[in-house]
Amino acid sequence: MMERTIETATKQYPLLLGDGAARALPRLLRSLACPPGTKLFIITDDAVAPLYLDEVRAMLAAAEYDVYAYIIPSGEAAKSFDNYYACQTAALQCSLDRRSVIIALGGGVVGDLAGFVAATYMRGIRYIQMPTTLLAHDSAVGGKVAINHPLGKNMIGAFHQPEAVVYDTTFLRTLPERELRSGFAEVIKHALIRDRRFYEWLRAEVKTLADLRGEALTYCIEKGIDIKASIVREDEKETSVRAHLNFGHTLGHALESELGYGTLTHGEAVAIGMLFAVFVSERLYGHSFAEHRFAEWFARYGFPVSLPTTVEADRLLEKMKGDKKAYAGTVRMVLLREIGDVEVVELEDDKLLAWLDEFAKQGGGR
C-alpha cells in the first residue's frame, strides 16, 4: 500500500492507495483525532452496499466507532436533490454532530453527493473518500462536490476537501466493465491534458480494457491522481488551470443532461466530448491529430465515438452555454494544442453549431 499527501492551497490530506488500504481506516481515523465513540455516517449505494458495507461497518464497529449507514440508488440519476435531502434527513435522525465524519463508500456519484452533504450539514463537517471505482480516482481528489440539476450537471455544489482518500484497490475487482470503461475515460483525459509520456504508455500497454488490472490498473490510478493533485495544488478553486480538467466535459456534461442522467455513463459522455474537443482543436489551430486515430483507439475500449442520433445540435449548444466555464453565455472549451498541452478557448455560437453539425454528419471523431 502506498501513502502520500495531497496538497491544496488550504489543506493537506493523506491518500492511502493499494490492496487492503481499507484496513488502515481505524488507524487513520485515530490520527485524524476521531476517538472511539465518534459517529461515522457511511453513505454508499445499492450496488456497493451488498459487497462491502458489512465489511467496512464491522471493521469500524470493532474499533468502537458509532457507525450508521445510508444507501442511495446507484447511477448518475441518484446525484439528485431528493437523495441529498434524504441523506441530510438521515444524518439529522442519527444526530450527527460537528465532530462526526461522513464516509463516502462508492464511486463518483456517492463521493460527490456525500461530499456535498458533508459540505453543508451544520455548515460543514468532515468526510473521507473511500472510492470503489476507477472513475473516482478523479472525483475523490480535489474537493469538488455537487449534485446535478435537470438543467445542468454538478450545478449545485461546493469546494470541500476530504480529510483523507482511502483507495482500496481490492474493491475494484468487482467493477462491471462499463464502469471500468467510464473511469478509464478520465485516465485518458489526465494523460492528454498533462503527460505525453503517460499517454504513450497507455497507447502501448492498455490495448483493451482487459489490460486494466493488477499493477497496470494501480499505475493508472496513481498517475491520474498525481496529475489531478498537481493541478489542484496550483488552482484549488478553478480560477485558472483547474479548468483544464474539464477537457471533454463541455460537450460531455451537455450530453449527460440532455439525454437524461445515466443514459450514457460519465466516461462515455466525456469520451465523445474529448473527440469533439480534438475535432474543434484541429479546426481552430489548423493542425491534424489524424495520426493518433483517437476514435479508433477509443472504439477499441468500447467507447461510443459519435453523437447519439437522438440529440439535436442546437439543444447541445444551449446546454454548453450554461456550463460553469461559460461567461455571459459564451462557451469556453478546453482544447488540445498538442498531446499534454491544453488551453481554454472562447468559441462563437455559430462556429460551434456548424462544428457540432459537421461532427454529427461525419459520424463523430476520427
Least distance between ligand LNCXM5UN and beta carbon 108 (Å): 7
190 lines the binding site for ligand LNCXM5UN (CB under 6 A): no
Binding residue count for ligand LNCXM5UN, defined by CB under 6 A = 14
Among 144, 160, 194, 319, which residue interacts with ligand LNCXM5UN (rule: CB under 6 A)?
Answer: 144
Q: Report the residue number, 24 or 78, with the smaller CB distance to ligand LNCXM5UN.
A: 78
**Rounded (10°) angle between helices 214-234 and 196-205:** 160
By DSSP bridging, strand 101-106 and strand 126-131 are parallel
Task: Please give the distance of CA 279 from its chain centroid, rounded to a whole number.
Answer: 23
Among 156, 324, 345, 353, which residue interacts with ligand LNCXM5UN (rule: CB under 6 A)?
Answer: 324
Task: Please give the distance of CA 9 from its chain centroid, rounded to a whole number.
Answer: 20
Query: Rounded to the nearest 5 degrees, what angle is found at the Cα of 102, between the Cα atoms of 101 and 103?
Result: 115
Phi, psi of 146 (to 5 degrees): -170, 165
Q: Return the closest-CA partner of residue 66 out of 43, 41, 89, 44.
A: 41
Element (H, E) at 289: none
Cβ-proximal residues to 76 (8 Å cutoff; 6+ apart), any chain:
109, 148, 256, 261, 262, 265, 266
Least distance between ligand LNCXM5UN and beta carbon 341 (Å): 17
Among 246, 257, 265, 281, which residue interacts with ligand LNCXM5UN (rule: CB under 6 A)?
Answer: 246
Radius of gyration over alpha carbons of the chain, in Å?
20
Query: Rounded to the nearest 5 degrees, what angle is found at the Cα of 354, between the Cα atoms of 350 and 358?
Result: 170
Least distance between ligand LNCXM5UN and beta carbon 45 (Å): 17
Element (H, E) at 43: strand 39-45
The one segment of 1-9, 39-47, 240-248, 329-337 that binds ligand LNCXM5UN by CB under 6 A: 240-248
Q: Report the residue number, 16 or 270, with the smaller CB distance to ligand LNCXM5UN.
A: 270
Q: Report the residue number, 14 or 273, with the smaller CB distance to ligand LNCXM5UN.
A: 273
Site track for ligand LNCXM5UN across 249-278, x = CB under 6 A: x---x-------------------------
Please give the annotated binding residues for Zn(2+), written as ranges. Answer: 186, 249, 266
Cβ-proximal residues to 120 (8 Å cutoff; 6+ apart), any chain:
88, 158
Three-state DSSP class for 197? helix
Catalytic residues: 123, 144, 186, 228, 238, 242, 246, 249, 253, 266
186 lines the binding site for ligand LNCXM5UN (CB under 6 A): yes
Q: Report the residue number, 19 or 235, with the smaller CB distance to ligand LNCXM5UN.
A: 235
Among 44, 74, 83, 154, which residue interacts with ligand LNCXM5UN (rule: CB under 6 A)?
Answer: 154
Q: Return the closest-CA partner of residue 233 out of 35, 12, 60, 25.
A: 12
333 lines the binding site for ligand LNCXM5UN (CB under 6 A): no
Q: What are the cell numbers at 127? A: 468526510
Three-state DSSP class for 60? helix
245 lines the binding site for ligand LNCXM5UN (CB under 6 A): yes
Of residues 100 through 139, those in contact with ligand LNCXM5UN by CB under 6 A are 138-139
- In the numeric block, the cell 444524518 is attached to 91
Q: Return the closest-CA partner of residue 132 out of 164, 171, 103.
A: 171
Least distance between ligand LNCXM5UN and beta carbon 60 (Å): 28
319 lines the binding site for ligand LNCXM5UN (CB under 6 A): no
242 lines the binding site for ligand LNCXM5UN (CB under 6 A): yes
Q: CA 145, CA 139: separation in Å to the nearest integer?
A: 8
Q: Report the residue number, 56 or 269, with the smaller CB distance to ligand LNCXM5UN.
A: 269
Residues in contact with ligand LNCXM5UN by the rule CB under 6 A: 138-139, 142, 144, 146, 154, 186, 238, 242, 245-246, 249, 253, 324
